[in-house]
A and B are shown apart, each in its own frame.
Chain A
């Protein structure tokens, strides 16, 4: 237990300390929630709602998957996305709708089409992962509805992508994939009380009411909860955020929580006061200017990657192998960058694209190139009271030869052994411009200067590539760990450059990632 949370179904007078969210059509008010209590703990321990399971407490197995519904930032619409309840802090639910596996069926005879398809396809064995799969499939089902009559059903690739964050140890997945295909053709036995769940989408029954309800929960002033040294502060705009950071210089910044959550659930750390960035409107901005893509630091990966993909389709495989849907739905691009892990998957590509960061503090704004941001292992150039405001990526020139490759033990939902990115300009058979960056090869993600030098000005040829591969040994002295040995990392880093060359020569067209999988 450990929470002093008082739960009631009645909308309370809005106070700064209570959060309100929708569950099964009712507004739930939790008075002064403990800042780092997870949504999963709240469900299982406080509500005795035990359908959602803990399998790993780190967002890697998906047994805790629930769906969050939020108002779209712009416009009269809702977005429903799967997230990992095990690492999502309870106060972040404020103003949203929470849908759990219990929400879908009021009783065992009124199963949702997703659930019905799972039963009919024999898609559960031990059943422990099943609620999570149901919720990920429900999100996919909703996405299908929102596609709004396009008639395109997800193929094997889309199903795999949607389920990349859910582990099943019993079935081998075949019947779950069958259920994902079958669910769109199943009618539920009878409508449940929550008709929005059943017939959603723009104009769907109850949509306007749902939007109105969520709008009524949006607070005017910042959420402040917790006690003393362990506060949860959710400022609404940059001025408030700056004031907040000035008052709480040692606070922990929280965005998607897909790493910070683990500090609590795995390391049992006390975070002190948490400043939540998810309500800072300016940080959710996405803008495409004449010269740049500008992504606010708190744009989720699920929102950021499609924008990047539209301009850099060469990064498709990287983006699909980047974490999993529930992680991408919570995690932010700014979080991936500011966290600064040497194996963060966004940075090699962003560095070779020449991305820069706009940093903000009370002193004002400054811009720093991403490659200069990292100074040492998990250390960056952020000063006290400073935060990443936005990521600026130059628009494609159209002449770049761009590739990024991720190599890991498993294709999906794995952490890179090596993540490579190459951005070359080749003019008349000669490399005129070379940017090469790697993750997993050093204490930070960084450029490979020797390799770049070996490429620059040279003919784009096998000989140059050989020399540049050799140069990598002067750029990096990688580590041995459980993901890969130093020798493997170096060899693969070199081979990925070769792969790029072979692709540019048309010798290779595919990686093995999508082999045989229909989209």
Chain B
């Protein structure tokens, strides 16, 4: 265990031999599907002339809501998300119809030819307007501990501010895609690029009027997902499946980049109001948060996303008196969804901003204020939702990264440098991360696996997890290989397949390796036990005399190849196939009171970032980053390092260059890489030091005492944002009003060099 093995598909990736959904050989009867979308943000459909679509070259069929035999819905938690809009369109991009044609181009050209008349209705285009209009997809929620208002009133110091953090497109390189193939007796086989094959199966079944048994969903790998293919994949799969059902032919729907960005959900942008009271040392005495997020047109995953934002407004800090209000705003924009961090980043954005403000108000190093407010002993060890923080290593990690980065000395040097460099200014910041691991919906914390051992000793591994690049499959294979004492190369990694492992949760919430690793270990363990029992009986030895290691089975003094024992056991009619199951222990949580233990444990990390800012243009560069991150006892340090590095850079993109813009009519204007700017190679800090915390065994009984690593590192990038803020703070403007993303324009505005507001403009 713990070997830094390459990704199981690395040799295929580099040779172009890794097969993604669009690379599968196409069935002979394949039709290509395109979607016709609303051009207005809110309207009633008055006339829908599809004749030009039907008569367009190469068109085979058109799909409308009336063609849907089952439910016209793909909303998994709340059934408020039609696959195709019926009479009212709710955002610019809302699917109205689909068209199937003999080529991709023919379908896409045809889809653009519809003549649609709308009665245009008033649209709500941002969260602030939604709060005013009380336009919500779900009821507002509150979480309270102590008496924030009383302590705020009596606190020696009090600060209030409204801050915004932008949304973010997942920008997986492989866009959404599904291919549906009709099977015997009306069944469907669906290849889907999805993090949640089980949900795709359910939604396709519901839409097509089938039972789950009649739908099989398979996903070998995705070209990135980041949360964007959790709930959203069902929309694409349902359209492909419905068209396949209607035409009786195989149908593939691949969204082009623009449609993908316009039609599918993103990270929620938040408007956060805070009101914080604190003493002379910077200790927070009371804090009020009002969070308003852009949920878009439907509930989708916005409930749990916003819950998680509320859970993470503490980040690593003890908030004795806290009151949080969370508004889940209904806007006439695409329904927002999961994205790595799932509300956590936005919650942390609020508290880190408040802490930074406190430091700037008191004229202290923000790190001092952060340390002052950490969780600790003596009653400072319970979260605002009642979960004891039993594994707090934030202070140690922060100490380590501060030392590694030489934080204090560099901070002093930077302040000195800035005195003589008024145009190019530097800044530095250290921010911690504490992130709760588990689905907050307890029932989702279950996983299944299937392990088959063949007569030749080779092993077929399947589990409910999906591979989106995060290295889950190699990690789980390492677990199974270890359990059976064989080489990883003996374990065949196979596609997620709803007919092998049923009812699997989404590969999400960073829980993929924790849950599927445990489930696969349980399956492998069953087989090893059966083999052990057989060996004990066959050779009349006790269990202690049997060891599985390095491809052999030691039986007392004798040693057999694993394959030989397997073959012998098979001949004695021992079952060599097993399922495994896992449910996360200890967690319980009452959604009505927001109390309990929603998280099995916390993952920690801390980062120091240094930036340089050009105060004439607002352009900036990250110069150096130091990270210490906690992966527990890593299952695969190479994979985990990749998650930490990649998550950090993705978080830096969210907070700096990635800006979603809508025009005054509510149409997204940043819907391709030409206008939506994720980090490129040169944006990586020239000095980038990432350390995985050593001797860090998870105190909870996770698989090999590892920790989840998918999401937490993204939030380390808050250090970049605060380094920029540090760089542009001056004696005259000690706490600049910088919103995220800190684009060059946002930076120049925070510097006070800009009068006009951009919001009115775009």
Binding site for B on A (CB under 8 A): 1-2, 44, 48-58, 60-61, 63, 100-102, 104-105, 107-108, 111, 114-115, 118-120, 122, 124-131, 134, 156, 159-161, 163-164, 166-177, 266, 268, 405, 407-415, 417, 480-488, 491-492, 495-496, 498-499, 502, 507-508, 510-513, 515-518
Contacts and interface: CB of A to CB of B under 8 A. Distances in A.
A125 B468 CA distance: 8
Interface stretch (B182-190, B410-418, B593-601, B684-692): B684-692
Contacts of A507: 423
Given A101-B16, A166-B680, A480-B761, 20 more contacts: A1-B103, A48-B25, A50-B23, A58-B672, A61-B673, A122-B4, A126-B225, A126-B469, A127-B9, A128-B469, A129-B173, A160-B681, A169-B173, A266-B672, A409-B659, A410-B679, A486-B761, A495-B617, A496-B617, A516-B686
B684 A111 contact: no
B471 A125 contact: yes
B469 A170 contact: yes
Given A2-B106, A48-B25, A516-B623, A128 B7 contact: no
B657 A499 contact: no
Considering residues B25, B112, B681, B749, which has the most beta carbons from chain A within 10 angstroms of its beta carbon? B681
B686 A517 contact: yes
A60 B105 CA distance: 20
Given A170-B469, A487-B756, A119 B11 contact: yes
Interface stretch (B45-53, B505-513, B740-748): B740-748
B648 interface: yes
A512 B424 contact: yes
A516 B745 CA distance: 23
B665 interface: no
Contacts of B688: 174
Contacts of B669: 481-482
A83 to B, nearest CB: 16
A266 B623 CA distance: 37
Contacts of B675: 415, 482-483
Nearest to A125: B469
A407 B616 CA distance: 11
A63 B690 CA distance: 27
Considering residues B175, B624, B683, B761, which has the most beta carbons from chain A within 10 angstroms of its beta carbon? B761
Contacts of A408: 677, 744
A516 B624 contact: yes
A50 B22 contact: yes
Interface in B721-762: 743-745, 748-749, 753-758, 761-762
Nearest to A129: B173
Considering residues B172, B174, B762, which has the most beta carbons from chain A within 10 angstroms of its beta carbon? B174
B628 to A, nearest CB: 16
Contacts of B624: 516
21 contacts: A50-B19, A61-B673, A115-B14, A119-B10, A119-B11, A119-B14, A122-B6, A127-B469, A128-B20, A164-B680, A172-B645, A175-B645, A410-B680, A417-B744, A482-B669, A484-B745, A486-B756, A487-B754, A492-B616, A492-B744, A516-B687
Q: Size range of the interface on B?
A: 35 or more
Contacts of A517: 682, 686
Chain B interface SS verdict (over half): loop
Contacts, number: 315
B14 A492 contact: no
Contacts of A487: 754-758
Nearest to B611: A512
A57 B624 CA distance: 34
Contacts of A411: 619, 621, 680, 682-683
A72 to B, nearest CB: 28
B721 to A, nearest CB: 15
B456 to A, nearest CB: 22
Nearest to B620: A512
Contact of A53 (B223, B225, B754): B223
B646 A482 contact: no
A122 B15 contact: no
B686 A488 contact: no
Contacts of A124: 7, 9-10, 13-14, 469
Contacts of A159: 681
Nearest to A270: B109
B670 interface: yes
Contacts of B258: 266
Given A51-B15, A101-B15, A412-B681, A172 B673 contact: no
Given A172-B650, A488-B754, A488-B758, A51 B16 contact: yes
Given A53-B223, A172-B645, A516-B621, A167 B680 contact: yes
Contacts of B263: none
A126 B473 CA distance: 12
Interface in B429-476: 468-471
B683 to A, nearest CB: 7
A174 B682 CA distance: 10
B638 to A, nearest CB: 5
Contact of A166 (B170, B619, B681): B681
Contacts of A166: 680-681
Contacts of A111: 11, 14-15
B15 A488 contact: no
B614 interface: yes
Contacts of B108: 268
A323 B461 CA distance: 45
B378 interface: no
Given A119-B6, A128-B223, A487-B756, A481 B762 contact: yes
Interface in B599-620: 612-614, 616-620
A409 B743 contact: yes
Nearest to A516: B686
B444 to A, nearest CB: 23
Given A126-B221, A163-B681, A488-B754, A58 B174 contact: no
Given A122-B6, A126-B221, A517-B686, A171 B645 contact: yes
B672 A60 contact: yes
Contacts of B18: 127, 130
A155 to B, nearest CB: 10
B391 interface: no
B133 interface: no
B124 interface: no
Nearest to A126: B469
Nearest to B101: A2
A485 B167 CA distance: 19
Given A50-B16, A61-B173, A108-B15, A126 B681 contact: no
Contacts of B170: 169
Given A126-B469, A127-B13, A502-B423, A480 B174 contact: no
B19 to A, nearest CB: 7
Contact of A122 (B16, B19, B641): B641
B649 interface: yes
A421 to B, nearest CB: 15
The 3 closest A-B pairs by CB, nearest first: A51-B16, A126-B469, A128-B223
B651 to A, nearest CB: 10
A100 B7 contact: no
A408 to B, nearest CB: 8
